[in-house]
């Protein structure tokens, strides 16, 4: 398509009608500025609400033009912003790559219209529909601003594809940049040379943008020139979006030069022999196909050939090979990189040479995957002239207990967290030499550990294993645990009173039973077995809206919850074809393996089941789910149905037996089973909290922390 920005302005109505894009209930909610529940309520209450034009019953789609007219007619909104109208048109393009390419091309043309110096590659092979959307975007930007329009659409695009495109939250990106700047300044003489920053897996450029902002402020104080930002990404659409994003930053007065290239940094680095002063990187996690075989003899592997299962260490060695002497790298990594056995040899080499200088544990929720405490690794390329002293001690900071939860980056007090981390970084000597004179003490939660103490069999660099818990944190945990214990003991007493009233003295003939297989044949229940799930559809990061969790026997053995999820559309498709087994609320789930034998009633959300897990869907007119679950989970029942083989002990679910009672007779049994299960859960929680209390009190007393009040 032509790169010309000479587009005839359209009116708002012309824009709305030119491409009548479909919009979902969630999209309508965003347009109207309300929650999705409100839109569902409108749909139920108003017969005039637009009828779906596509989608499914679970996720219907509506005509944007019809929705706009209805909202206006019913006073729900006076005017829909041009940017809000644009987004459904992008969604209508379907494929993520096409949407991203169209947005990048819109960014390129908007920058060109502003006369900005930019290097965004032209997307010359866009489909006709995408080219028309680009025209619409340029038109809208005349009224709403080029950068504002681009940033809005980019944010929506990232939200829509959060499962495929991982980004570094802006506060975390700025923290990483500030750490690199502080470490670089703390171990070198500085100067007027222009700083080069590289991100070899830049995505949409968040880390480079943070570096440009941070160094603009730092550079002004140090009288240095603006940095040069270099980025690369395997996905051409992401690289083009990053180039446009940084182009807008420069046009807005950022004063930085940026060069983003598409390419595989590990296999064929598009920046070649360029050396950087700082590397910032959030590499792809657990990507096994990173080129292990073809790169086996690569000269970058100075610290050892990274195992196939350790792609993050390959990225670290690549970064060190691209750093100038005394250059600094800051990586965002999953916590397993600090402890996995496969990587211990390279971890030792990084420590011995002084390349690895620090590890910072972040609170869960800092970035995807939100359920784990990610880590920042601080590395420094040893100086070639031997002037810098290799680090004799490793800087370790455990900020994982600061605050936050697995709800995402918005749950974290970033001002407090960043202040704590940067205070510790500034207090430490990064030159390798010991500080003299007025030495600044490291804050609580931060230690420096002799490297020799870490070179053991495991070389486990997890900060929590080496940083002692502060007295304040320990006391706060104990206070919380005592409160939880009091509440749990109240629960136990309540369940005990209810269960103690049960009279089991009745005698007579043995109660008759029937097998699950018999009930299945009689259509009193439907028995379905879980299946092996395709790896390419499974995701392991935080569960987004609309996704369905997946449970395996291994998850139960490890005592964890569901270990992955599938997209809602894939689950709907798989359930309809029978390739997925989905336990719906009200189904009874059975784990058919002796070492992980469990039976429960699925209560809250649907659940996709893996192999050796079974879903039993009872006919509610014949079987109470809690009665069924209670019968099946009896230990004696499981022993009788056990089937021992040479490799494992399995439970033949079809041979499990159920009391043969009428529905009315089942009800008191169901109530008893529910109360018994609740008591079991409460007792298990009491045991766990009790262990924490005993451990915490024992450690505190042994450390001499007993507070003696004065009378």
Mean pLDDT of 445-467: 89
- Tell me the C-alpha to C-alpha distance, in Å, between residue 369 and each of 378, 522, 546, 553: 20, 45, 17, 22
pLDDT at 668: 92
pLDDT tens-digit map of 190-243: 445 678 999 999 999 999 999 988 876 544 444 456 789 999 999 999 999 999
Band (385; pLDDT cuts 50, 70, 90): low
Share of the chain above pLDDT 70, in %: 83
Phi, psi at 507, each rounded to 5° = -130, 170
- Tell me the C-alpha to C-alpha distance, in Å, between residue 630 and each of 92, 109, 121, 599, 673: 49, 65, 63, 8, 5
Three-state SS string across 597-658, please?
CCEEECCCCCEEECCCEEEEEECCCCCCHHHHHHHHCCHHHHHHCEEECCCCEEECHHHCEE
Q: Is the pLDDT of residue 250 over 50?
A: yes
Dihedral, CA of residue 99, residue 205, residue 115 and residue 252, to nearest 10: 120
Give 358's strand partners.
Answer: 378, 395
Q: Is the pLDDT of residue 12 over 50?
A: no
Q: Is the pLDDT of residue 476 over 60?
A: yes
- Kindly give, in sequence order, each residue whose CB lies less than 8 Å from that of residue 710, ignoring residues fewer than 6 positions away: none
Mean pLDDT of 343-367: 93
Which residue, among 408, 410, 411, 363, has the nearest Cα to 543 in the 3D structure?
A: 408
pLDDT at 508: 58
Spatial contact of 225 and 194, defined as CB atoms under 8 Å apart: yes
Q: Return the number of other C-beta atoms located less than 10 Å from residue 284's C-beta.
A: 13
Band (659; pLDDT cuts 50, 70, 90): very high
Cα distance between residue 468 and residue 671, in whole Å:
47
pLDDT at 406: 42
pLDDT tens-digit map of 584-626: 989 999 998 877 788 999 987 889 999 989 999 999 999 999 9
Helix (H, G, I), strand (E, B) or coil at 690: helix
- Kindly give, in sequence order, each residue whose CB lies less than 8 Å from that of residue 89, ignoring residues fewer than 6 positions away: 19, 21, 64, 133, 136
Band (443; pLDDT cuts 50, 70, 90): confident
pLDDT at 11: 43
Which residue blocks in 189-298 are alpha helix, DSSP H? 206-222, 236-249
pLDDT tens-digit map of 156-190: 888 877 777 888 999 999 999 999 999 988 755 54
Q: Is the pLDDT of residue 470 over 70?
A: no
Cα distance between residue 13 and residue 318, in whole Å:
52
Q: Is the pLDDT of residue 19 over 80?
A: no
Mean pLDDT of 9-15: 43
Helix (H, G, I), strand (E, B) or coil at 278: strand
Band (368; pLDDT cuts 50, 70, 90): confident
pLDDT at 10: 42
Band (710; pLDDT cuts 50, 70, 90): low
Count how many Cα atoms sit within 13 Å of the Cα of residue 703 in the half-sphere of its side chain.
Answer: 14
Spatial contact of 107 and 120, defined as CB atoms under 8 Å apart: yes
pLDDT tens-digit map of 257-314: 789 999 999 999 999 888 999 999 999 987 878 998 899 999 999 999 999 889 999 9
> At CA 375, angle to CA 373 and CA 376, rounded to 5?
150
pLDDT, averaged across the chain: 82
Spatial contact of 60 and 52, defined as CB atoms under 8 Å apart: yes
Rg (CA), the chain: 30
Dihedral, CA of residue 65, residue 97, residue 159 and residue 408, to nearest 10: 170
Spatial contact of 98 and 106, defined as CB atoms under 8 Å apart: no
Cα distance between residue 466 and residue 446, in whole Å:
9
pLDDT at 545: 62
pLDDT at 374: 94
Mean pLDDT of 45-68: 82
Which residue, among 310, 282, 460, 296, has the nearest Cα to 368 in the 3D structure?
A: 282
Q: How many residues does the chain have?
A: 711
pLDDT tens-digit map of 667-709: 999 999 999 988 988 998 899 889 888 988 887 888 787 776 5
Band (511; pLDDT cuts 50, 70, 90): confident
Is the model more confident about 490 or about 44? 490
- Tell me the C-alpha to C-alpha distance, in Å, between residue 188 and each of 216, 276, 279: 19, 15, 16
Mean pLDDT of 540-569: 74
Q: Which bin fits 92, alpha (ψ -120 to 50), beta or left (φ > 0)?
A: alpha
Cis ω on the peptide bond leading into residue 552 (within 30° of 0)? no
Share of the chain above pLDDT 90, in %: 37
Mean pLDDT of 425-430: 87
Cα distance between residue 305 and residue 345, in whole Å:
10
* Helices 96-113 + 82-91 axis angle, to 10: 140
Give 359's strand partners.
Answer: 377, 396
> At CA 258, angle to CA 253 and CA 262, rounded to 5?
145
């Amino acid at each position: 398509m032509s790169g010309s920005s000479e587009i005839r302005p359209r009116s708002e109505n012309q824009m709305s009608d030119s491409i009548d894009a479909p919009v979902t209930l969630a999209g309508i909610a965003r347009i109207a500025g309300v929650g999705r529940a409100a839109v569902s309520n409108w749909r139920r209450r108003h017969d005039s609400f637009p009828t779906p034009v596509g989608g499914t019953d679970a996720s219907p789609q509506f005509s944007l033009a019809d929705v706009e007219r209805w909202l206006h007619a019913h006073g729900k909104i006076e005017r829909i912003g041009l940017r809000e109208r644009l987004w459904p048109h992008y969604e209508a393009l379907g494929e993520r790559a096409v949407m991203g390419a169209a947005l990048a091309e819109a960014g390129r043309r908007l920058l060109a219209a502003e006369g900005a110096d930019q290097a965004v590659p032209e997307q010359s092979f866009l489909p006709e529909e995408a080219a028309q959307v680009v025209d619409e975007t340029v038109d809208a930007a005349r009224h709403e601003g080029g950068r504002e329009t681009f940033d809005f659409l980019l944010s929506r695009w990232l939200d829509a594809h959060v499962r495929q495109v991982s980004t570094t939250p802006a506060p975390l990106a700025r923290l990483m940049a500030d750490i690199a700047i502080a470490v670089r300044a703390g171990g070198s003489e500085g100067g007027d040379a222009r700083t080069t920053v590289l991100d070899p897996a830049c995505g949409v450029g968040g880390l480079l943008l943070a570096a440009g902002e941070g160094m603009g402020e730092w550079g002004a104080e140090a009288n240095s020139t603006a940095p040069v930002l270099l980025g690369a990404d395997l996905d051409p659409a992401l690289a083009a979006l990053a180039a446009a994003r940084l182009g807008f930053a420069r046009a807005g007065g950022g004063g930085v030069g940026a060069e983003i290239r598409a390419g595989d940094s590990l296999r064929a680095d598009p920046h070649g022999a360029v050396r950087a002063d700082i590397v910032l990187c959030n590499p792809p996690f657990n990507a096994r196909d990173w080129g292990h075989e073809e790169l086996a003899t690569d000269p970058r592997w100075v610290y050892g050939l990274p195992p196939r299962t350790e792609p993050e260490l390959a990225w670290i060695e690549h970064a060190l090979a691209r750093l100038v002497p005394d250059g600094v790298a800051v990586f965002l990594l999953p916590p397993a990189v600090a402890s996995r056995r496969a990587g211990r040899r390279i971890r030792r080499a990084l420590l011995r040479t002084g390349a690895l200088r620090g590890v910072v544990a972040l609170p869960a929720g800092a970035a995807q995957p939100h359920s784990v405490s990610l880590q920042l690794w601080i590395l420094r390329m040893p100086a070639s002239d031997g002037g810098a002293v290799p680090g004799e001690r490793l800087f370790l900071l455990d900020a994982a207990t600061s605050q936050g939860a697995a709800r995402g980056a918005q749950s974290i007090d970033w001002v407090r967290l960043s202040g704590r981390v940067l205070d510790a970084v500034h207090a430490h000597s990064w030159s390798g030499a010991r500080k003299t004179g007025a030495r600044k003490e490291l804050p609580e939660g931060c230690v420096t550990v002799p490297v020799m103490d870490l070179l053991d069999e495991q070389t486990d660099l997890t900060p929590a294993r080496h940083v002692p818990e502060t007295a304040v944190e320990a006391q706060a945990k104990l206070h919380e645990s005592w409160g939880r214990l009091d509440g749990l003991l109240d629960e136990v007493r309540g369940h005990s009173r209810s269960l103690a009233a049960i009279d089991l003295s009745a005698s007579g003939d043995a109660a008759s039973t029937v097998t699950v297989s018999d009930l299945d044949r009689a259509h009193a229940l439907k028995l379905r077995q879980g299946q092996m799930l395709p790896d390419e559809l499974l995701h392991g990061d935080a569960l987004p809206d609309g996704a369905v969790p997946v449970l395996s026997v291994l998850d139960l053995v490890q005592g964890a919850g569901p270990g992955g999820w599938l997209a809602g559309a894939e689950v709907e498709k798989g359930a309809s074809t029978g390739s997925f087994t989905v336990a719906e609320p009200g189904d009874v789930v059975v784990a058919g393996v002796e070492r992980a034998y469990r039976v429960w009633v699925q209560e809250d959300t649907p659940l996709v089941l893996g192999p050796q897990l079974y879903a039993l869907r009872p006919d509610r007119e014949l079987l109470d789910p809690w009665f069924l679950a209670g019968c099946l989970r009896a230990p004696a029942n499981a022993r009788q149905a056990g089937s021992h083989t040479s490799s494992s002990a399995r439970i033949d679910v079809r041979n499990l037996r159920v009391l043969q009672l009428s529905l009315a007779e089942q009800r008191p049994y169901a109530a008893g089973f529910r109360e018994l299960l609740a008591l079991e859960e409460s007792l298990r929680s009491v045991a766990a909290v009790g262990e924490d209390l005993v451990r915490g009190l024992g450690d505190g007393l042994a450390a001499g922390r007993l507070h003696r009040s004065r009378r």
